[in-house]
Structure 1
Amino acid sequence: MRPARIRTRPLGSAGALLAALLLALTALAALTTGPAAGADHGTVNTSPAPTAATPVAVNGRLKVCGTKLCNQHGAPVQLRGMSTHGLQWYRQCVTSSSLNALATDWNADVLRISTYIQEGGYETDPRGYTDLVHHIIEQATSRGMYAIVDWHMLSPGDPHHNLGRAKTFFSEIARRHGDKKNLLYEIANEPNGVGWSRIRSYAEDLIPVIRAKDPRSPILVGTRAWSSFGVSEGSDETEVVNDPVRASNIMYTFHFYAASHRDEYLNTLSRAADELPVFVTEFGTQDYAGEGANDFAMAQRYLDLMAQKKIGWVNWNFSDDHRSGAVFTAGTCADNGPWAGTRSLKQAGVWIRDRIRSADHFRTG
């Protein structure tokens, strides 16, 4: 956003029945107890054990194949999920209960962990924010969701301004979590005010640092003009098509806000996805600041296109911010819910939850 379940065979005896009941009770205890409590980062460090039907269990480690994101069997997959708001403001919205709801009530595949660098974020406490991201990655992993680690650079718009910090941050994240199957790295949220060549050089400086620790997880590269493939600054996708990042297993990001970004942006996304692997790591149904009236009709046109071309997407945002783009009503996070169902949701929340829930599960094929 710019500024402004256990299965048993049929039982044949009372003894077998008793044994099965004891087994089920043991498993239930394990599910409800969860891991031991860890550092207090504004979330409760308890979580359910993942079942065989989670997105990660079904799809495994993802990889880029041609212009698509593919699962462990080489089949294209379309992930759908939510982005946190800035953790410096809304970490209280990222709790054990809220993530349970996101995984099991919303049926989301992916959580984007929005880590601002400036604006009171990472640069004020690198150790604290890195530990918080570690914690949330573990929470997403325990629920069988994919996790996008979002390096939320926004202002200044030149990603090189934070290159040193990015190398430190992503090196540790990759070292700690590179053996996991559910990670994606988003290395530059919304570059702006600089040309594509500057963004590409940043990516080519940073990607080897990540690959030294994690050679297999997909990396998502921001595009010019707030990840619009340059449209917001008078360009288009051809600059990336003609001069791509010299690295493998990468995708390019595109962001849109339906009330502000009309047919020119929609057509750019469509053309770009025919030439490049694209992931929509942020979008809203409002204006580009995440506020104002919802344009659900235009947003649905984008969703229809992304379903047709299997472009993964993440909606902004999973918080109770006062703006219309936050899915929860004000006070939901302070009250710790209710998270499931629609009682605590704004209009945009009801709409996006329905779109995540109604899609074919795990978006494969």
Structure 2
Amino acid sequence: MRPARIRTRPLGSAGALLAALLLALTVLGLPAAVGADRGTVNTSPGPTAATPVAANGRLTVCGTKLCNEHGKPIQLRGMSTHGLQWYRQCVTDGSLNALATDWNADVLRISMYVQEGGYETDPRGYTDLVHSIIEKATSRGMYAIVDWHMLSPGDPHHNLSRAKTFFTEIARRHGAKKNLLYEIANEPSGVSWSRIRSYAEELIPVIRAQDPRSPILVGTRAWSSFGVSEGSDEKEVVNNPVRASNIMYTFHFYAASHRDEYLNTLSRAADKLPVFVTEFGTQDYAGEGANDFTMAQRYLDLMAKKKVSWVNWNFSDDHRSGAVFKTGTCANNGPWAGTGSLKQAGVWIRERVRSADGFSTGATG
């Protein structure tokens, strides 16, 4: 049983009746809304004792791990939206119901591009959209990563003023919630680690003034590869960490492009630093082409062993192979649950989000 699914109290008489109901549904061949290890049937989008947030509470960084409110290391697994400026129609009540109760996801990453037609074109509109999606994730008992999806230009200082404005409002409105994580720089590139570190050390206090307790996720050099994609490695972060507490460092990989050098870097980094894989795919670095499920499973096995949380890219119907839904699914408003609307990568990743421990089952989707 995954720690993120731990039942924190005995079932009691009401729980016993509920367990009997689940057993009856199983005998009759009817689908229960959630797995038996969650301890309840989820009949509404509101949080219950079975949801990841209800079971684990506010998260914190303890040593190199992400821990729940009881101090127990956990591993979150879930999905990232695509850019909201293009694919907000894929983030609906129906799709999020499926993500929470069919996929059994713990976490939703809300990817708001800063450039590329995103936040900078309508700060008020995109901030309100993120507010709305945070509330949707919260009502379903999922954790929400607020992703400041800076990509080009690669220097996070370019958007520092915007980031201060955005995160101040997000943290002020949602900081009392137990399910927030802030990802403050998606994929820095073309700049030194010291430059990224200085950005983090300027922005983090702004967030902490509004929300002193939620974890903050810091992007690493060279598209969040710990510098590997620009000829470095994790030692630059190990030797010069951000001077702040309750933070983690992000790592991104795409299995068909990022081979053993990247896998070994992740393994070493996770032994010395708190790491969260906030984006990965089973295809090439552009989220396109053939899936390499064998290499991707090696990453998943490593992350399960070391309790590194992960989020897959992406929960949309983009034409690329990395989008989990078949093209047209979002325009047709589903169907969202099951595998009928999923591409090959979607079938594969849904199985692994749903699985009990994330380790290889030998299946290739």
Same structural fold, with TM-score higher than 0.5 when normalized by the shorter chain: yes
CA distance in structure 1 between the aligned counterparts of 2:351 and 2:173, rounded to whole angstroms: 34
Alignment-mate amino acid for residue 337 of structure 1 = G
Decide which of 118, 123, 129 is 1:121's aligned counterpart.
118
Alignment-mate amino acid for residue 277 of structure 1 = P
Tell me the equivalent position of 1:335: 332
Q: Is the 8 Å Cα contact of residues 316 and 325 (structure 2) preserved in structure 1?
A: yes
Task: Decide whether aligned partners of structure 1 residues 245 and 8 sit closer, same or farther in structure 2, where only a CA change above 3 A counts.
Answer: closer
Alignment RMSD (CA, Å): 1.5
Decide which of 322, 325, 340 is 1:325's aligned counterpart.
322
Cα deviation code 1:303-335 (max 9, x no counterpart)? 000000000000000000000000000000000
Alignment-mate amino acid for residue 222 of structure 2 = A
- SS of equivalent to 2:243: coil
CA distance in structure 2 between the aligned counterparts of 1:139 and 1:356, rounded to whole angstroms: 19
CA distance in structure 2 between the aligned counterparts of 1:244 and 1:355, rounded to whole angstroms: 32
CA distance in structure 2 between the aligned counterparts of 1:125 and 1:312, rounded to whole angstroms: 32
Cα deviation code 1:249-302 (max 9, x no counterpart)? 000000000000000000000000001000000000000000000000000000
- SS of equivalent to 2:245: coil
Tell me the equivalent position of 2:34: none
Decide which of 282, 301, 304 is 1:307's aligned counterpart.
304
Decide which of 215, 230, 233 is 1:233's aligned counterpart.
230
Q: Does 1:152 align with 2:149?
A: yes
Tell me the equivalent position of 1:132: 129
Could you state the TM-score of these two structures normalised by the residue count of structure 2?
0.87
Q: CA deviation at 1:9?
A: 8.4
Q: CA deviation at 1:359?
A: 2.4
CA distance in structure 2 between the aligned counterparts of 1:262 and 1:294, rounded to whole angstroms: 13
Decide which of 192, 207, 210 is 1:210's aligned counterpart.
207
Q: Does 1:277 align with 2:252?
A: no
Higher relative contact order (CA 8 A, sep 6+): 1
Tell me the equivalent position of 1:179: 176
Q: CA deviation at 1:358?
A: 1.1
Q: CA deviation at 1:360?
A: 4.2
CA distance in structure 1 between the aligned counterparts of 2:258 and 2:15, rounded to whole angstroms: 52
Where do 5+ consecutive residues of structure 2 fail to align? 1-10, 18-41, 359-365
The 5-angstrom pairing of residues 1-365 of structure 1 reads: 7=14, 48-360=45-357
Q: Is the 8 Å Cα contact of residues 156 and 196 (structure 2) preserved in structure 1?
A: yes
Q: Structure 1 runs of 4+ off > 6 angstroms? A: none
Q: CA deviation at 1:221?
A: 0.1
Task: Decide whether aligned partners of structure 1 residues 246 and 328 sit closer, same or farther in structure 2, where only a CA change above 3 A counts.
Answer: same
CA distance in structure 2 between the aligned counterparts of 1:274 and 1:324, rounded to whole angstroms: 32
CA distance in structure 2 between the aligned counterparts of 1:223 and 1:144, rounded to whole angstroms: 29
Alignment-mate amino acid for residue 270 of structure 1 = S
CA distance in structure 1 between the aligned counterparts of 2:295 and 2:343, rounded to whole angstroms: 18
Could you state the TM-score of these two structures normalised by the residue count of structure 1?
0.87
Whose radius of gyration is greater, 1 or 2? 1
CA distance in structure 1 between the aligned counterparts of 2:244 and 2:318, rounded to whole angstroms: 37
Q: CA deviation at 1:8?
A: 7.8
Q: Is the 8 Å Cα contact of residues 108 and 137 (structure 2) preserved in structure 1?
A: yes
Q: Is the 8 Å Cα contact of residues 256 and 284 (structure 2) preserved in structure 1?
A: yes
CA distance in structure 2 between the aligned counterparts of 1:357 and 1:311, rounded to whole angstroms: 16
Cα deviation code 1:52-107 (max 9, x no counterpart)? 10000000000000000000000001000000000000000000000000000000
